[in-house]
């Protein structure tokens, strides 16, 4: 599948703070569809924008950044009114955002209040990661600095619609400049883009769209709840024909390492450990014979 043929949806949020776990809420959401022509150039831009009454005061320091005041959202609906439409818009799209995990955390919290999970997407691109990958010597990887390097206009930064469009256009410029593969499957290795894992029989999406382990002690449980298992997958070996060999396929090891870099940085301590599950203080995750074989 060619990724340029998918719905490319760049999005951004403005929030009342930094931590959804502490009750901070989304006050603005924007998603910008970048529709490409046969040559891969932007032919049309479709904006989807919402503002919400968060039900809590907007702190002054937040208003100083995004210029959204309490009176601007006083007559706006709650997120719950449009949450389903936003969820449907994200579903199946190639998502692009700058510092994507931040927006994902907030939207996941908002969706959770509606009984919804994070949607199943075609791919998730973080332009902050791309900036660090392709501009290693840059002092700043903020969206504004990235846009300057790419000669992408960004007018009235820190408003969701403007940031989203600049982010999406920046991704397309980097895709051209740094030779992104045409096929969706190649984006993972090219730019640490999150895709579904390879079909190796170890994990897949369940009926609810949740990526889950398919066997072992954590069978049926969400992959994101056990990042330590992904770390173990990346280093586990077993004895085969008189020598130590990798226990899991290379493509699954690469996917696991990528997921940890992009999604789980800082979520659990990483220490030098051995190859067996017992060294990690866990049960064998994918096969009861793992401990014995290592």
Identify the active-site residue in 24, 98, 158, 202.
Answer: 158
CA torsion sign for 17, 18, 20, 26 is: positive
Residues 6+ apart with CB under 8 A from 71: none
Q: What integer is the mean pLDDT of 47-56? A: 97
- Tell me, what's the pLDDT at 292? 47
- Tell me, what's the pLDDT at 263? 83
CATH number of the domain at 113, please. 3.30.420.10
Cα–Cα distance, 28 to 92 (Å, whole number): 22
Q: For the whole model, what pTM was predicted?
A: 0.85
Whether residue 14 is contained in a domain is answered as yes
pLDDT in tens, 202-236: 999 999 999 999 998 999 999 999 999 999 999 99
Out of 191, 218, 241, a domain closes at: 191
Same domain, 135 and 228: no
Cα–Cα distance, 200 to 164 (Å, whole number): 35
Q: Which domain holds residue 222?
A: 203-293
Residue 158: active-site member: yes
Same domain, 226 and 187: no
Residue whose tokens read 């490319």: 8
pLDDT in tens, 56-99: 999 999 999 999 999 999 999 999 999 999 999 999 999 999 99
Out of 191, 223, 253, a domain closes at: 191
The 3-state DSSP class for residue 172 equals helix
């Amino acid at each position: 599948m060619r990724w340029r043929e998918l719905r490319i949806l760049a999005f951004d949020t403005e929030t009342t703070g930094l931590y959804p776990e502490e009750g901070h809420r989304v006050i603005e959401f924007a998603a910008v569809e970048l529709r490409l022509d046969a040559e891969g150039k932007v032919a049309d831009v479709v904006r989807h924008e919402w503002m919400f009454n968060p039900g809590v005061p907007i702190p002054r320091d937040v208003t100083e950044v995004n210029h959204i005041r309490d009176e601007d959202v006083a007559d706006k609906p709650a997120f719950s009114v449009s949450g389903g439409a936003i969820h449907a818009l994200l579903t199946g799209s190639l998502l692009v955002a700058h510092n994507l995990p931040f927006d994902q955390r907030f939207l996941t919290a908002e969706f959770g209040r509606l009984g919804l999970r994070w949607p199943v997407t075609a791919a998730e691109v973080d332009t902050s990661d791309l900036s660090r990958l392709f501009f290693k010597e840059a002092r700043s990887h903020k969206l504004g600095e990235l846009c300057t390097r790419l000669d992408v206009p960004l007018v009235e930064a820190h408003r969701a619609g403007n940031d989203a469009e600049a982010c999406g256009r920046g991704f397309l410029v980097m895709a051209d400049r740094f030779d992104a593969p045409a096929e969706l499957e190649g984006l993972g290795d090219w730019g640490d883009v999150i895709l579904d894992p390879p079909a190796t029989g170890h994990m897949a999406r369940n009926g609810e769209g949740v990526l889950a382990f398919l066997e072992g002690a954590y069978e049926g449980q969400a992959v994101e709840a056990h990042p330590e298992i992904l770390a173990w997958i990346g280093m586990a070996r077993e004895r085969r024909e008189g020598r130590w060999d990798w226990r899991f396929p290379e493509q699954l090891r690469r996917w696991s390492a990528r997921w940890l870099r992009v999604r789980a940085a800082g979520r659990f301590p990483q220490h030098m450990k051995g190859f067996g599950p017992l060294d990690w203080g866990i049960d064998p995750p994918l096969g009861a014979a793992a401990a014995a074989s290592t």
